[in-house]
């Protein structure tokens, strides 16, 4: 796959600005639903990353899951996902990932 350009992904409607990281000051981005259709390989890689992150948070007690061995397990935030002390022990990338998961679950 050719090197991806953030500006072009935004213009193509694949990426959108999500905010600014309060610690680093860097821009944060989210993929739009168009990703699956326009860049299937990147969609697959992103989906695999999300799955790995969810498994990490489940294994470490930040998430609860029902029907884990089905295609669509039910995912819920645990009390630990809101525990400031537990959150402070996560590296910044994991905290950001968990915030993204919280945001998604609020929309469902």
Helix (H) or strand (E) holding 30: strand 27-31
- Output DSSP code: residue 2: P
Mean pLDDT value across the chain: 88
CB 81 within 8 A of CB 95: no
Name the more confident of 24 and 2. 24
Going by pLDDT thresholds of 50, 70 and 90, the confidence category of residue 108 is: low
Give the tens place of pLDDT for each residue, 41-78: 999 999 899 889 999 999 999 999 988 778 788 899 99
Alpha-carbon distance values, 12 to 3, 30, 37, 71, 96 (Å) = 15, 13, 12, 30, 25
Contacts of 63 (CB under 8 A, 6+ apart): 54, 57, 75, 76, 77, 78, 81, 101
Taking the model in full, what pTM does it have?
A: 0.73
């Amino acid at each position: 796959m050719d090197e991806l350009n953030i500006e072009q992904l935004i213009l193509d409607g694949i990426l959108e600005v999500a905010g600014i990281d309060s610690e680093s000051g860097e821009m944060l981005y989210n993929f739009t639903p168009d990703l699956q259709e326009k860049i299937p390989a990147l969609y697959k890689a992103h989906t695999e990353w999300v799955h790995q992150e969810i498994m990490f948070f489940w294994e470490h007690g930040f998430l609860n899951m029902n029907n884990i061995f089905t295609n669509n397990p039910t995912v819920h935030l645990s009390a630990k996902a809101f525990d400031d002390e537990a959150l402070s022990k996560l590296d910044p990338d994991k905290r950001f990932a968990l915030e993204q998961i919280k945001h998604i679950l609020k929309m469902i």
